[in-house]
A and B are shown apart, each in its own frame.
Chain A
Amino acid sequence: ETGVTQSPTHLIKTRGQQVTLRCSSQSGHNTVSWYQQALGQGPQFIFQYYREEENGRGNFPPRFSGLQFPNYSSELNVNALELDDSALYLCASSLDYNEQFFGPGTRLTVL
């Protein structure tokens, strides 16, 4: 196991709702990246946080936002949920910009 934990493991929401997903980094790591993985696809980069600042963003709309806290844990918030947001959301932590260690993911279903 990597030491990266995510909560909840599964979540069901309806279209238009908002959701918050949480990630605890591996001890000693200061960088967190979030990915969306649709069924049968590879993970797609959403954004990265380094020492509480957003440090890079993929091709996702502004309704995907995040936070990193002083203890380097992180949240991913998604507003105005759409059906296509149904996916596995992965968090990965690293020390600076080195090798990333992935958590088990949160499975989000939007109905």
Chain B
Amino acid sequence: GESVGLHLPTLSVQEGDNSIINCAYSNSASDYFIWYKQESGKGPQFIIDIRSNMDKRQGQRVTVLLNKTVKHLSLQIAATQPGDSAVYFCAEPRGGSYIPTFGRGTSLIVHP
């Protein structure tokens, strides 16, 4: 069946370092992926998305890489800041809709 999962539950980095959060998916037919950030006490917030016809997409301080061969995507955060501390989810929308299927999430902890 379809699943979206994450490799590491917790990632600790120093302020200013680059962070890489990984995500594996199992449905090779998936054509769209979204990364969300969820801060404590808030709902998930859209960060960046990528379609399967792309290998890389860049936003402000964030880059998503998609490797369809191994069904893996990653979120890279440049110059990580304390405000980046949150749980990050990759999500795969269900069947053509924008209803995301979430994995467990990775908790990013940024140390000053």
Q: Are A42 and B103 in contact (CB under 8 A)?
A: yes
B64 to chain A, nearest CB (A): 15
Residues of A within 8 A of B59 (CB): none
Residues of A within 8 A of B43 (CB): 2, 4, 90, 92, 102-105
- Size category of the B interface is 10 to 19
Residue of B with least CB distance to A101: B46
Q: Are B104 and A42 in contact (CB under 8 A)?
A: yes
The distance in angstroms between the C-alpha atoms of A37 and B46, with both chains bound, is: 17
Residue of B with least CB distance to A98: B98
Known A4-B43, A103-B43; judge A42-B99 contact (CB<8 A). Answer: no
Known A41-B104, A42-B104; judge A102-B98 contact (CB<8 A). Answer: no
- Per the CB 8 Å criterion, the residue count for chain A at the interface is 23
Q: Does B94 contact A (CB under 8 A)?
A: yes
A10 to chain B, nearest CB (A): 11
- Supply 22 A–B pairs (Cβ within 8 Å), ascending by A: A40-B104, A41-B104, A42-B89, A42-B91, A42-B103, A43-B44, A43-B89, A43-B102, A45-B94, A45-B99, A45-B101, A56-B94, A56-B99, A90-B43, A92-B43, A99-B98, A100-B46, A100-B99, A100-B100, A101-B46, A103-B43, A104-B43
Give me 16 other A-B pairs in contact (C-beta within 8 A), A41-B105, A42-B89, A100-B100 excluded: A2-B45, A42-B91, A42-B102, A42-B104, A43-B44, A45-B94, A45-B99, A45-B100, A56-B94, A56-B97, A97-B97, A97-B98, A99-B46, A102-B44, A104-B41, A104-B43
Which residues of chain A have a CB within 8 Å of any CB of chain B? 2, 4, 33, 40-45, 48, 56, 90, 92, 94, 97-105
A-B complex: 4 closest residue pairs judged by Cβ atoms: A102-B43, A42-B102, A102-B44, A90-B43
